[in-house]
Chain A
Amino acid sequence: MSLGFVVGVGKTRFGPTSRSMVQLAQEAILGALDDARLEPADLDAFIVANFLGGPNDSQLHLNAVVAGLMPGLNLPSWRVEAACASGGVALHQALLALRTYPRILVLGIERMSGVVGTALTRNIGMAGDVLLDQAVGLNFPASYALVAQRHMQEYGTLLTDFEAVSLKNHANARLNPRAHFYHKEVAQADIDGGPTVAAPLRLYDCCPVSDGAAAAVLSAERIDDRSVPVLGSAVASDAISLVQREFHTGFTAAREAARRAYAQAGVAPADVDFAEVHDCFTIAELVAMEDLGLCAPGESGPMVREGMTARDGRLPVNASGGLKAGGHAIGATGIGQVYESVTQIRGEAGERQLDRARVGLTHNVGGVGGTCAVHLFGGDRS
């Protein structure tokens, strides 16, 4: 049984822009409404997912800011924050709320380009624990670097496996006009020349920070043959810092969310045709594949090495370019993944359309696995 349907999706390009938060929001909202052939008055509620409006732009209360784009509607609305998983968590909430509000718009939005340097590193670090992580200088890349170190020790994962993820996602982004690095050709030489950020992670192991917005209209009922069913939706959390966990080569929250989502959908990992996973760092994509059961623990490196996750591989991962090359507009990322999945399942992905895209999975992580949202889409669309 479907939990609800995605009936419309919209997304701005992810990447630096001079456009304001409300301009980005409006573009994504209009895109989703047009895609669903709906008007603002057809909505019953909306949810705004955002991470750094406060620290970066001194702007909180974003649901009311967005209400200013729909004057006179006075809809029920609220804002959701769960660091980089804000979008996935908002989607989960919307599905739960469909019983009360049959048509809900979920908007993910982030502006990152207004703040730079150490201040931005600090703000993004707010996704970690201020005392346990920030106080000892464990910024965001450093946290993932520790996961990478543990993964390399435990499974013999290679630096070239990280590079393979980067090269694949950059290649995919070249087919996605809404990707941050759509125009940027990245070759092995670029990766080799990248400076170390937090060993072993180098520049091309890290996603960029992007401005952007993405929106999805959810409906309790199918409205046309382009409506895409949501088969499973789960969120799980874990203690925020790596220091609070005994398991460091994956994320328990992701495994738990995946288990619940698969069970709800009645779908097994082997049924998944493609996945959009949270590759904020290359290591994160490898860990995601294992946490989602798309391969056994320790098998992600070999799988990427053999090209099995490329667009023409057995299980395409991040055909959009992922966060790595598609861009990471933090609060919008989880909804951006929905945009890609729905577009692929409908067969509307143009140049980057996958051959087989019946069941899609999205995996959206907050912090270093403190929150994880997993969603399954598609299946029988008739």
Chain B
Amino acid sequence: MTCYRCAACGRHYAYELDVCTYCRVPLEHTPGGTASVLAVTRVDVPSLGHEDVPYWCALVRDESGCQALVKRDVATETGATISLAAVEVEDRSVVGILGTGTMGRGLVELLLSRGHQVVWVGRSDESLASGRQRVADRLARVMDEDELEEVSSRLVTSADPSAFIRCDLVIEAVVEELEPKRDALVRAEAAMRPDAVLATNTSGLPLDELSRSLLRPERFGALHFFNPPSRMRLVETSTCASTSVETAAFLDDFSRSLGKIPIRIAQRPAFVVNRVLMPLINEAVRSLEEGAASAESIDEAIKLGLNHPMGPLALADLIGLDVVLSIMENLVERTGDEAYDPRPLLKTLVAEGKLGRKTGEGFHSYR
């Protein structure tokens, strides 16, 4: 509820301001209770950020005269009473993140900026300290010192998974390989409350395999975010045979609560985006091997010809060439189709430790 009231003169402001422009006294924030709908419109035209139509926009007013505009995804009638209770930080789910790699960091940044309390578990105190610093550096681009302090106070780091006991949801984001992921999930689950949901950020490993050693597979599913999570709107959600209907719905709802668009994908190798992307990257590598053009030109051609915002080689560098290689090898293994075989040049770069942006060099140089 966006309503700030001056106790001295009774004026209302819709913005979070320090003082009343007239009286210069601090404003009181009226927490939303219930309000009645003055007018409502069903919107059938999409706009950026509001692509899913129809939705309903209601102008509501509470007893004290505070007004709000609310977006609803269900039909709403004039005169109806609706709740405006703002979701306070203490009411938001506490989210655990397991892993301090690129996606782990990105998810911590996203969740903190969306107001969640975050429990971040990694292998060592050093990796967590460095991760905390990098997340703080990212957030400092858009926040002042006070905001940064408030946000940092919502982040707890620990090398011990038992810290997950507080969490309503834990998202696993460790290395994209079956055994390490399975181990990480088992360790996380052992520390979690029985009613909490466990999700994996796998980009397409088989969920039935990942869930095999879990005690509560009905509370397990996939939330596949894209890098960087703070900017990419897609979340591929997926379930295994034992995932409950409630958990499946939660995965979608939670994604939406972060301003993301969930798309449900059946349990297929590499889901959809990577399944389509990997052959594209592999063919770009082949073109580079064959001397069709330079890495820069190949990327430029795809950008211009397919209207992609980024070329496939630059994208591979962003994802991490080791991750790309691992996904491709997994695809070959699971589909038995050699068409997914990673190109020799990709293997060479990974063997040389040239993993893309994170090491400063991949198909392109970032030094």
Contacts and interface: CB of A to CB of B under 8 A. Distances in A.
B360 interface: no
B70 to A, nearest CB: 6
A146 B12 CA distance: 21
B76 to A, nearest CB: 11
A131 B78 CA distance: 23
Interface in B37-82: 38-51, 55, 57, 59, 65, 67-71, 78
A244 B59 contact: no
Majority DSSP secondary structure for residues of B touching A: strand
Given A142-B57, A149-B39, A150-B39, A132 B47 contact: no
B41 A142 contact: yes
Contacts of A242: 59, 69
Chain B, interface size: which category?
20 to 34
Contacts of B78: 149, 153
Interface in A114-163: 118-119, 121-122, 125, 129, 131-139, 141-142, 145-147, 149-150, 153
A138 B39 CA distance: 12
A246 B65 contact: yes
Contact of B69 (A132, A141, A145, A199): A132
Interface in A74-125: 118-119, 121-122, 125
Interface stretch (A16-24, A190-198, A339-347, A351-359): A190-198
Nearest to B37: A149
B51 A199 contact: no
A239 B14 contact: yes
Interface in A204-245: 239, 241-244
B2 interface: yes
Contact of B42 (A125, A131, A198, A239): A198
Given A139-B50, A153-B78, A248-B59, A198 B44 contact: yes
A243 B69 contact: yes
Contact of B43 (A132, A153, A198, A243): A198
Interface residues of A, number: 37
A118 B46 contact: yes
Nearest to A197: B45
Interface in B16-41: 38-41
Contacts of A239: 14
- The listed residue with most B CB atoms (<10 A of its CB), out of A131, A198, A241, is A198
Contact of B44 (A150, A196, A246, A248): A196
Given A197-B45, A242-B69, A248 B14 contact: no
B161 to A, nearest CB: 37
A243 B47 contact: no
B55 A132 contact: no
B44 A153 contact: no
Contacts of A244: 12, 14, 67
A115 B42 CA distance: 25
A135 B14 CA distance: 14
- The listed residue with most A CB atoms (<10 A of its CB), out of B15, B49, B57, B69, is B69
B67 A243 contact: yes
B252 to A, nearest CB: 19
B57 A137 contact: yes
A132 B39 contact: no
Nearest to A139: B47
A201 B44 CA distance: 10
A149 B51 CA distance: 23
Contacts of A246: 65, 67
Contacts of B42: 196, 198-199
Contacts of A125: 47
A122 B49 contact: yes
A142 B71 CA distance: 11
Interface string B319-334: 0000000000000000
Contacts of A133: 69
Given A136-B57, A137-B57, A149 B41 contact: yes
A139 B14 CA distance: 18
Contacts of A150: 38-39
Given A122-B48, A241-B14, A243-B14, A139 B43 contact: yes
A205 to B, nearest CB: 12
B73 to A, nearest CB: 10
Contacts of B45: 121, 139, 141, 197-198
Contact of A149 (B40, B47, B55): B40
20 contacts: A118-B47, A118-B51, A121-B48, A122-B48, A132-B69, A134-B47, A134-B49, A135-B49, A136-B70, A136-B71, A137-B57, A141-B45, A145-B41, A153-B78, A196-B44, A197-B43, A198-B42, A201-B41, A241-B14, A244-B12
Given A119-B48, A241-B14, A243-B2, 14 more contacts: A132-B2, A138-B71, A139-B50, A141-B45, A149-B78, A150-B38, A197-B43, A198-B57, A199-B41, A243-B67, A244-B12, A244-B14, A244-B67, A248-B38
Closest 4 CB pairs of A and B: A145-B41, A121-B47, A137-B50, A149-B39
Interface of B: 2, 12, 14-15, 38-51, 55, 57, 59, 65, 67-71, 78
